[in-house]
């Protein structure tokens, strides 16, 4: 039985609707972004290699050259012999307490300014914003004299109070736009149901502002963790120092253990880097949410 050949069916070729110029522009954008990402990662790679070298390799090898025998013992030595464990705990303790205190106080202030009606709200907000223009270094001597008079020198409470005071203005500014955008109908309904102001703040308003609170907390945490000048000025006892100041212990008058310094810096970077990577989406959400008013 003869079969007739079926006519060829032409399959339409799908072509990109995007013009060539747009595709070239997107490609160039990806190249620029990849190059920027590589430039951001290179310092971390250099620091990791730096922390695995001895003093001779640090000065004789190129910056990105692999060490002949990686000295992983640098990390063990700084943790066990360099008191880094104590510094790490101090950094975590001070950072967490200061961040919680700053977020709580900033939320109180922002709620009172944006959701309550009182005559001096604009003046109070202006005073807090003025705090952003005060240079940190100009307050070191007055703060040291004040803490000395009240007996808070060489006390971690002085560091926590300083971090809280200097972080309050920027934290209030981050929360401000989001609080203005909150619908008042939710609060009115809560009041009609007999909810008190305190309960409404903790049970309704704060959960609604979680994304912007996470953004402010991460920004505060990065600043507190990396801060150096306050700890170096107000703290003299070795057991009360943080990681950023404790690294000075490896700098001697005649010799400096550069591998130990690199290991200490790597240890200090890793926690904040991990937290930032895990919660980076929260920063974008909080900034986007707080940028719209009304």
CATH assignment of the domain containing 268: 1.10.3720.10
What pLDDT was estimated at residue 250?
Answer: 73
Average pLDDT over residues 166-180: 90
What pLDDT was estimated at residue 104?
Answer: 94
Shared domain check, 148 and 280: yes
* 256, β-bridge pairs: 251
Shared domain check, 270 and 217: yes
Shared domain check, 87 and 51: no
| Nearest of 261, 262, 232 to residue 47 by alpha carbon | 262
Lowest mean pLDDT among 247-251, 269-273, 284-288: 284-288
Average pLDDT over residues 45-51: 90
Shared domain check, 94 and 52: no
Quick one: three-class SS letters along 78-94? HHHCCCHHHHHHHHHHH
Within-domain flag for 212: yes
**What is the token pair recorded at 198?**
């305190």
Shared domain check, 32 and 93: no
Shared domain check, 36 and 113: no
Q: Given a cut of 50, is residue 7 above it in pLDDT?
A: yes
Q: Given a cut of 80, is residue 255 above it in pLDDT?
A: no
pLDDT band at 150 (very low <50, low <70, confident <90, very high): very high
Q: Given a cut of 60, is residue 289 above it in pLDDT?
A: no
Q: Given a cut of 60, is residue 49 above it in pLDDT?
A: yes
Quick one: three-class SS letters along 240-266? HCCHHHHHHHHECCCCECHHHHHHHHH
Shared domain check, 180 and 40: no
Within-domain flag for 183: yes
**What pTM was computed for the model?**
0.79
**What is the token pair recorded at 172?**
């209030």
Shared domain check, 86 and 51: no
**Domain assignment of residue 185, given as a range:** 82-290
Shared domain check, 210 and 138: yes
Shared domain check, 163 and 201: yes
Q: Kindly list the distances between the CA atom of residue 132 and the CA atoms of 146, 172, 284, in Å, as whole numbers in the listed order.
A: 21, 11, 23
Three-state secondary-structure class, residue 256: strand
Task: Answer yes or no: are the C-beta atoms of 141 and 178 closer than 8 Å.
Answer: no
Within-domain flag for 74: no
pLDDT band at 246 (very low <50, low <70, confident <90, very high): confident
Q: How far apart are CA 217 and CA 272, in angstroms?
A: 12
Three-state secondary-structure class, residue 255: coil
Shared domain check, 164 and 53: no
Total domains in the fold of the chain? 2
């Amino acid at each position: 039985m003869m079969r007739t050949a079926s006519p060829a069916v032409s399959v339409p070729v799908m072509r990109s609707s995007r013009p060539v110029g747009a595709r070239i522009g997107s490609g160039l954008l990806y190249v620029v972004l990849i190059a920027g990402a590589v430039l951001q990662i290179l310092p971390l790679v250099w620091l990791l290699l730096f922390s695995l070298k001895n003093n001779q390799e640090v000065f004789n090898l190129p910056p990105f050259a692999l060490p002949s025998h990686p000295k992983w013992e640098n990390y063990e030595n700084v943790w066990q012999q360099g008191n880094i464990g104590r510094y790490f705990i101090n950094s975590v303790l001070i950072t967490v307490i200061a961040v919680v205190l700053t977020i709580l106080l900033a939320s109180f202030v922002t709620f009172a300014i944006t959701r309550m009606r009182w005559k001096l709200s604009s003046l109070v907000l202006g005073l807090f914003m003025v705090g952003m223009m005060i240079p940190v270094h100009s307050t070191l001597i007055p703060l040291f004299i004040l803490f000395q008079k009240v007996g808070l020198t060489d006390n971690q409470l002085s560091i926590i109070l300083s971090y809280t005071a200097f972080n309050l203005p920027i934290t209030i500014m981050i929360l401000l736009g989001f609080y203005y955008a909150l619908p008042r109908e939710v609060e009115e309904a809560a009041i009609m149901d007999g909810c008190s102001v305190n309960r409404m703040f903790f049970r309704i308003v704060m959960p609604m502002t979680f994304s912007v609170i996470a953004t402010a907390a991460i920004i505060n945490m990065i600043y507190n963790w990396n801060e150096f000048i306050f700890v170096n000025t107000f703290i003299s006892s070795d057991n009360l120092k943080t990681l950023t100041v404790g690294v000075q212990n490896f700098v001697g008058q005649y010799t400096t253990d550069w591998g130990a310094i690199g290991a200490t810096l790597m240890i200090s970077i890793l926690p904040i880097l991990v937290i930032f990577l895990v919660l980076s989406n929260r920063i974008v959400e909080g900034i986007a949410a707080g940028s719209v008013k009304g």
